[in-house]
Chains A and B, each alone.
Chain A
C-alpha cells in the first residue's frame, strides 16, 4: 500500500540555474505554491489509524491511578498505551539529559505532559476514547520561579539526578550553572564614573511555527518502522527513538516530511515515539497531528528569563566592567537548557569590549512548561538586557546611544569574556553606522486627503486613534550570536554527492539528512553543486537516515556545516572526475597534468579558460559517488568555574533601527520601520538571506510587543494555548524592513559565509523597546510590552 505524501527527489536545472551568490529560486517552490508539497500532516496511508495523546490537566501531581478500560472498549479504538506498556527499560529521552518520560511515570511535572496515547480509526474516536481514560492525580505544590525552586525546602522537580551537570550545580533544581570570571570587576568598578543597574524580564516566547507537530509511522515487514516526520535533526531523533522502541537504529527508518517551520521548536521529540509505539502495537500505520492547542504543549518554548545587570563606564564613555546574573526558566525537563546557559553566559556582554566581567547564568528546573531551543538561543534574552543597559548608560553620560555603542564596539581580535579571541571580522560599529544612515520614514504617513488611514496608525483597523496621543520614537540595538554548536560538541555534517551522465548531460545528485524547514538549504545545496561541479541539473534527494547525520537545522549552522559538507564532497567528486579525465584523456593534452583544472559549464577547463573536454565524455560509463563527513574547527568546553575556553566557532552580527509610533494614551504600538544591517560573510543566495533577516526581525518584533505564553504562577498552568490569545504579528503589524547586507568574509568558513538565521532575532526586540522608551520616556524593563505597561494600569484593581 502506498504512503501518500512520501517525499520525492527534486530536480532543478533545465530552467532554474545559478551557482552561489545568485538568487536562485527554490527547487520546491512550485510544489509549495500548488499545494502539492507534502507536509508531515499531509501524509496519508490507506487503513491508517489516528493517534491521540492524553495530557495532564495539572502541572505537578502524583499519578495515583490510570484506568484505560473504558477507552479500550470504545469501538474503533485499536490501542491505548501508558507507561506500563513501554517495551524496554529505556523509558526516557532527552537531547542532552534523558529526563523526559515518553509517557508519564508516577508523576507529572508540567501542564500538558503526555500520560497516555490512543490509536483509533478516526480522530474523533481517538479523542473520545482519550477523554474516557480516567487519571487520578494527587496534586503537589508547584515550583515556578527561582525563589520557590531553590528554597531550602523546595520540592525537587527531579529526584536522584545523576546527569553530568548534577555534580556542579548549587541546587538540584538548577539544571546547569555557568559562571564566567575575567579580569577584576571590583578594581574596574573603581574607574567607573557612572554605574547603571537593571533588572529585566523576558517573557516566554513560542516558536509558533505554522505546521503543527505531525507525522506518520508505518510498521514494516521486518519488524521495524518507517517514520515520516517533520523535525530539525533526523539522526538526533533516531538516537532517542530507537532505544525506547527496543529496535536497532537500522530498523527505524526516518524520512523527512515537509516541515512547516521550526525555529527551534522541533529540536526535541514530540509525537515521534508515540506514533511509532502505536504503529508497532497495532501493526497499522498511525498518523498523529497536533492541533494548535496541543502544539503549545507539544514543544519547548524560549526560556523566559530574569536578568540582573550592572555596567560601569567612564565619563568619556568607555565601559569599565559588567556584572550579570541570568536566570533562565527551563521548566520541567532539561531539553536544551544547558546549552542555552552556555550561550547566555558567554554572549552576555554583547558585541562590546569589556575586560572585567563577573557573569553567572543558570537554568532552573520548575513545573512550568519545558523550555529549550528557539531562534537566538540564550543570546536573545541577554541582548534584550545589555542593550537596555547601553541606552541607560548613554543617557546618563549624555551621549548619543549609537556613538556610545560604537565607542565600545567589539572588533576583530577582541577577547570574549571566555578569553576567546574573535578571529574574523566583527563590524559592529559599521553595522550601527549603516542602520543609522538609513533614511528616516516620513512622519504622519497615516494622513491622507480622506482623513486618517487607521491601517497606518497604532491600533490599526480597530480605529482607536486618528492621530491623537501618537508619538514617534526611534531606537537602536546590535547583537552577537554564535554560529554552530559550541562548547566542544562534535558538530559535523555528512553529504553524499553523485555525478553521472544522464541523457548525455552531466548531472549531480546531492543527498543529505539536512532538515529543510523553510530556510532554503535545498536551494543552496544545488547552487553549491553547480558552482563546484559546473553542471546545470542538480537533483536533491529526500532527507532521510539512509545517509549520515547532517546535524541540526539550528544554531544558524546548516549553510555553514551541511553546506560545507556538500562543498567538500563536491570537491572530492571533482578530483575523482579529473582523475578519470586524466586517465581517459590525459595523453591528448598536457594541461591535464600541468594546469589547475575546473569544472565549468559542463566541461573540464583550465584556469586559463581552455576547454579540455565535455564532462559528458569524461563521465561516460562512469558514476562518481562520495559520502563524506565534514567538520568545522573544533571548539572547547567552558571551564565550569571560570568560564574560560575557546567555546565558539563563529559569530553573526546584526544591528537594527526601530521607528515606532506609540499611542501613548492607549499604550498601543505601531512599528513603522525596522531597518537591519547584518554581516553575512558571503550571501550564497541573496534573496534567501533577505528572507531570513526579515523573518527573524519579525519574530523579534513579536516578542517586543505581543508574544507571550502566560503561565499562572499559582498553578503553573498555561493560560493562552491558542492563536486567539498567543498573538503573532500579522502583516498589518509588520513594518517595512529595509536590509543592508554586508559581506565580510570569514576566512575559516566555506566561501567566507556566516550563519545568518538567528542574529536578526536578537537586536530586533531591544531596538523596538528602545524606540518605545524613546517615545514614552518610560523605563520598560520587560518584554513583551503590553498596553498596561505603557499606561500605568498593569496592577490588578483588586
Chain B
C-alpha cells in the first residue's frame, strides 16, 4: 500500500489520473473501517485532508457550494438556514466524533444507500461537482447513484463539491434506527417544500438499492397542492392527501430484509416519515406565511 499526500487539488487530480485505483480518504469513516477490518487493501490511499478548499463552503445567490470534506458538524453549525434538510441529516450522522471528520464527499463516494446525506441532497436538489485532469463536470444528484454502492464517478475523477440549492421553503429529515443515537439508518426520508416553484421533492435512504426519490409521490402531491390551492390558502394538508402521499412514498421503496430491519418495516416506516415530514414542513410553511402576512 502506498500513501499519497497531494497538497493541492491539482496534485490530487494528477495523482488520481496516474493511479486510478487510489482510494481517496478524507474523514476516514468508511475507508478506515474497511482497512481495520481487513475488508480492503487498496494499492494506494490518497489523503485529501491537505487539500484545503475541500473543507470550505460558499453561500451563493441560488445555491451553496459545499466542499466535499466540510465536516457534518460545520454543516450543522453554519448552514442550518441555507440547507436545513442537510443540516438535520448531518445531525443524525453517527457520533459527534465522526461528524467532526466526515463530510458529504464520503457519503457520495461510498454511495451506500444508508448514507445519511443522500435523502437530504435528493430532496433539496443538488449537483455533484466532480473533476479529473480531463476536466470538470456537474452530475445532477438524481443521476449520481448508479447501483448498490456505485456512483457515476469515472475512475480518474474525484468529488470536489456539492452544489445544493438554497432552501426556499421548509425542509425536514427523519431517519429510523434501532438506537437513539449513533446508528446506521434502517431507512431515512428527506422532504423539501419548494414554494418558489410550488413543488416538493423527496429523498429515500436505505429502502432501495440506491438512494431514490419518490417521484410518483412528488407528482401526486404537487398536483394535489396545486389543485387545492394549498400554496395560496395555507390550509392544512388534508389527511387523505397526506396518506396517499405517504402510501406512494412507501410504494417507491424497493427494500430488502436484512439484519437491521425487514423490507416491510422499511416500507411502512418510510410512509410514516413521509407523512410526518410533510406535516412538519407544511406547518412550518403555514407559520411562515402567517408571519409574512402579519408583517405585511
Establish whether residues B273 and A464, one from each chain, have CB atoms under 8 Å apart when the complex forms: yes
Establish whether residues B180 and A730, one from each chain, have CB atoms under 8 Å apart when the complex forms: yes
Known A-B contacts A730-B181, A788-B264, A795-B264; A462 and B174 likewise in contact (beta carbons under 8 Å): yes
Establish whether residues A462 and B265, one from each chain, have CB atoms under 8 Å apart when the complex forms: no
Establish whether residues A293 and B276, one from each chain, have CB atoms under 8 Å apart when the complex forms: no
Looking at B101-109, B158-166, B233-241, B255-263, the stretch in contact with chain A turns out to be B255-263
Known A-B contacts A462-B183, A710-B259, A724-B184; A788 and B176 likewise in contact (beta carbons under 8 Å): no
Contacts of A455 in B (CB 8 A): 180
Contacts of B261 in A (CB 8 A): 786-788
Looking at A64-72, A314-322, A665-673, the stretch in contact with chain B turns out to be A665-673
Contacts of A458 in B (CB 8 A): 180
Contacts of B183 in A (CB 8 A): 462, 727
At the interface, yes or no: B88 with Cβ under 8 Å from chain A? yes
A484 to chain B, nearest CB (A): 35
A291 to chain B, nearest CB (A): 7
Contacts of A460 in B (CB 8 A): 179-181
Establish whether residues B180 and A720, one from each chain, have CB atoms under 8 Å apart when the complex forms: no
CA distance A665 to B181 in the complex (A): 19
Contacts of B185 in A (CB 8 A): 462
Contacts of A710 in B (CB 8 A): 259
Count how many pairs of residues, one from A and one from B, have CB atoms less than 8 Å apart in the complex. Answer: 116
Establish whether residues B173 and A706, one from each chain, have CB atoms under 8 Å apart when the complex forms: no
Task: Give the residue among A462, A670, A727, A730 with the most B Cβ atoms within 10 A.
Answer: A462
A464, A670, A798: the one within 8 Å of B276 (CB): A464
B95 to chain A, nearest CB (A): 8
Establish whether residues A727 and B179, one from each chain, have CB atoms under 8 Å apart when the complex forms: yes
Q: Flag A696-735 by CB within 8 Å of B: 1 or 0 each.
A: 0000000001100010000000011010110101111100
CA distance A732 to B182 in the complex (A): 9
Contacts of A733 in B (CB 8 A): 179-181
8 nearest CB pairs, A to B: A460-B180, A793-B265, A732-B181, A788-B265, A462-B175, A793-B264, A797-B263, A732-B180
A131 to chain B, nearest CB (A): 8
Q: Flag A429-472 by CB within 8 Å of B: 1 or 0 each.
A: 00000000000000000000000000100111111111011000
Chain A 114-163 residues near chain B, CB threshold 8 A: 127, 131
Establish whether residues B180 and A670, one from each chain, have CB atoms under 8 Å apart when the complex forms: yes
Task: Give the residue among A460, A464, A468 with the most B Cβ atoms within 10 A.
Answer: A464
At the interface, yes or no: B268 with Cβ under 8 Å from chain A? yes
CA distance A732 to B181 in the complex (A): 6
A466, A719, A798: the one within 8 Å of B280 (CB): A466
Establish whether residues B176 and A797, one from each chain, have CB atoms under 8 Å apart when the complex forms: no
Contacts of A795 in B (CB 8 A): 262, 264
At the interface, yes or no: B186 with Cβ under 8 Å from chain A? yes
Contacts of A705 in B (CB 8 A): 178
Contacts of B268 in A (CB 8 A): 791, 793
Contacts of B174 in A (CB 8 A): 459, 462-464
Establish whether residues A291 and B36, one from each chain, have CB atoms under 8 Å apart when the complex forms: yes
A747 to chain B, nearest CB (A): 44
Task: Give the residue among B36, B173, B269 with the most A Cβ atoms within 10 A.
Answer: B269
A798 to chain B, nearest CB (A): 8
Contacts of B88 in A (CB 8 A): 463
Contacts of B179 in A (CB 8 A): 460, 706, 727, 729-730, 733
Chain B 242-296 residues near chain A, CB threshold 8 A: 255, 257, 259-265, 267-269, 272-273, 276, 279-280
Contacts of A727 in B (CB 8 A): 178-179, 183
At the interface, yes or no: A796 with Cβ under 8 Å from chain B? yes
Show 8 residue pairs from A and B whose CB-CB distance is below 8 angstroms, ordered by the A residue. A466-B280, A705-B178, A730-B179, A730-B180, A787-B176, A794-B262, A795-B262, A795-B264
Establish whether residues B272 and A462, one from each chain, have CB atoms under 8 Å apart when the complex forms: no
Task: Give the residue among A455, A719, A725 with the most B Cβ atoms within 10 A.
Answer: A725
CA distance A177 to B215 in the complex (A): 59
Establish whether residues B176 and A462, one from each chain, have CB atoms under 8 Å apart when the complex forms: yes
A4 to chain B, nearest CB (A): 23
Known A-B contacts A461-B181, A787-B178, A788-B265; A797 and B257 likewise in contact (beta carbons under 8 Å): yes
Establish whether residues B180 and A665, one from each chain, have CB atoms under 8 Å apart when the complex forms: no
B38, B173, B181, B262: the one within 8 Å of A127 (CB): B38
Q: Flag B181-220 by CB within 8 Å of A: 1 or 0 each.
A: 1111110000000000000000000000000000000000
CA distance A724 to B177 in the complex (A): 11
CA distance A710 to B262 in the complex (A): 13
Contacts of B280 in A (CB 8 A): 466
A214 to chain B, nearest CB (A): 16
At the interface, yes or no: B92 with Cβ under 8 Å from chain A? yes
CA distance A787 to B262 in the complex (A): 9
Contacts of B172 in A (CB 8 A): 463
Establish whether residues B262 and A464, one from each chain, have CB atoms under 8 Å apart when the complex forms: no
A468 to chain B, nearest CB (A): 6
CA distance A670 to B177 in the complex (A): 12
Establish whether residues B180 and A666, one from each chain, have CB atoms under 8 Å apart when the complex forms: no
Establish whether residues B182 and A730, one from each chain, have CB atoms under 8 Å apart when the complex forms: yes
Known A-B contacts A462-B174, A724-B184, A730-B179; A665 and B272 likewise in contact (beta carbons under 8 Å): yes
B173, B265, B267: the one within 8 Å of A667 (CB): B265
Contacts of A796 in B (CB 8 A): 257, 262-264
Known: A291-B36, A464-B273, A666-B273. 18 other contacts (CB 8 A): A293-B37, A459-B176, A459-B180, A460-B180, A461-B180, A463-B88, A463-B92, A463-B172, A665-B272, A670-B180, A720-B259, A724-B184, A725-B259, A729-B179, A788-B262, A788-B265, A791-B268, A794-B265
